[in-house]
Structure 1
């Protein structure tokens, strides 16, 4: 799409020009996004329950959506401009994955529910993301710890999802692998830089790891739907531990000896039971959409 003509002769105001360019008077909400799965065969493979596939895509989509929102909080807060750009791009990568996965969820169960509907108009207990994704921002070292854990786990998961019985999910995974491989490398480089840096940076990285480590076991605890249509997350633990051991060794750090953070009666983020931080995150994420429910996004 060509840039709108913002000259004085074109329109009375720049806002009118933008509205004309978007062909939508509500230009602030008119992003021009089309269905991310437009033209794709989204039929559910034989022998796979559409409801199960939808639930599984929601899990992975919510992980990406919620962590992406946390990452965008680092705009203007990262230590260097280069890192602000890198973190913003990582967030955008995950947002793109979320769009595809949430759209797939709406196709899989036949509801035709849109990605926007899933993102902006669900209650907290309807989200299925792991709790690690929603933790408060913390300092830069904790960001790196969370990103290192999240991306190492997600990369191992996506690599196995390339063999999914659902060709749409397999294609989404294949596309995401290159993105998440960069996310992991970025986090690993910073973990080594901080851990093997000054005494102060080493201590901040150690504390950051201790803060996120109670939520690691949840990543590898399988739910029945994952065993039916996805990847058994427990099979990822050995690879995860090996990668983390290499990174932490180079960073002169050790695996934290802190206990896992239990859920409520065994229920965690995958079951819709979240931390206190989740409600505040959703209030910010959903506020504009809920205030203008008829807007076009």
Structure 2
């Protein structure tokens, strides 16, 4: 099937309901021209798509772990849908990476057959949440940053990244709204909820600095008009976080700091990512290429 442009292709939906490894999902980029833009090394573009795809994949997995644990059924549904939105973004980005890379990988092999050191997600995405307040604080930081990034990505010279950005903006705007609503509800609620929301915000903020520290690959591709320099997202992020904290009667967010222990963009992760991948990759590794 072919489409007039990349956005139409990414927003087309079929009725494939097979949700298991190796069951033959339709290629989400089928019919879309996938060559790298002129002057852009395919390896660089593939690596950038892996970065953004891993962010979405790992965060999606964390969100799905909250199904049956959220305060209300409505929130379980909301978190499941947010996780599915991010999983869809991960599919598109990892498919794009595999196509451009041209080494025989596909979205499944990139998701299921890499070790932790091969993942390039920011460490915020893999963080284990102590309670619902910690999840909400982390989701607000993640969604505020990702929404600003995707919005700027709509101007990418790469038509696939631009289309992914346009599709993702509509999804992540809701993610940010949902998280902000809960931060306000808890922060401006009872003494207990305020105390727990404040503790959660304080715990998550140290991980936010990594989001705005440009990797050399991001700077190189941003100069080529393909990627986004994350340092340019700070003003929007700060403005949103300050306003949400104000309405939630929480202290203003502190100055961002570098994440101790290295960047996830360079494959530096903690034991939390290992635990995630052990769970997520168990079946594909036990039954390589399995189809059912």
The normalised TM-score by structure 1 is 0.88
- What is the CA–CA distance in structure 2 between the aligned matches of 1:251 and 1:133, rounded to whole Å? 23
The 5-angstrom pairing of residues 82-231 of structure 1 reads: 82-229=74-221, 230-231=227-228
Q: CA deviation at 1:33?
A: 1.1
Corresponding residue for residue 296 of structure 1: 291
The CA RMSD over aligned residues, in Å, is: 1.8
Deviation at 1:137, TM superposition (A): 2.6
Kept after mapping to 1: 8 A contact 2:242/2:253: no
What SS does the corresponding residue of 1:92 show, helix, strand or coil? Answer: helix
Larger radius of gyration between Structure 1 and Structure 2: 1
Runs of at least 5 residues in structure 2 that lack an aligned partner in the other structure: 1-15, 222-226
| Cα offsets for 1:219-267 (capped at 9, x unmatched) | 0000111112210000000110001011110000013448736343xx3
Measured in 2, the distance between the counterparts of 1:80 and 1:94 equals 21
Q: Residue in 2 aligned with 1:278?
A: 273
CA contact (8 A) 1:222 1:233 kept: yes
Provide the residue aligned with 1:253 in structure 2.
Answer: 250
Checking the alignment, whether the CA contact within 8 Å between 1:135 and 1:275 is kept in structure 2 is no
Q: Is the 8 A contact 1:155 1:177 kept in 2?
A: yes
Closer/same/farther in 2, CA of residues 268 and 249 from structure 1, 3 Å limit: same
Question: Could you tell me how far apart the structure 2 residues matched to 1:154 and 1:294 are?
Answer: 32
Could you state the TM-score of these two structures normalised by the residue count of structure 2? 0.89
CA contact (8 A) 2:51 2:120 kept: yes
Query: Alpha carbons of 1:37 and 1:273: their partners in 2 closer, same or farther (altered >3 Å)?
Result: same
Q: Which moved more, 1:178-187 or 1:31-40?
A: 31-40
Contact kept? 1:73, 1:137, Cα under 8 Å: no
Give the whole-Å Cα distance in 2 for the aligned partners of 1:294 and 1:161: 34
CA contact (8 A) 2:241 2:253 kept: no
The within-5 A match list for 1:63-78 is: 63-78=55-70
Alignment size in residue pairs: 271
List runs of 5+ in structure 1 lacking aligned partners: 1-21
Q: Is the 8 A contact 1:132 1:216 kept in 2?
A: yes
Residue 242 in 1 paired to residue 255 in 2? Answer: no
Do the aligned partners of 2:208 and 2:256 also contact (CA within 8 Å) in 1?
Answer: no
CA distance in 2, matches of 1:140, 1:100: 29
Which stretches of structure 1, 4 residues or longer, exceed 2 Å deviation after superposition?
27-32, 255-264
Q: Residues 150-177 of structure 1: CA distance to partner in whole angstroms, max 9, x if unpaired?
A: 0000000000000101001100111110
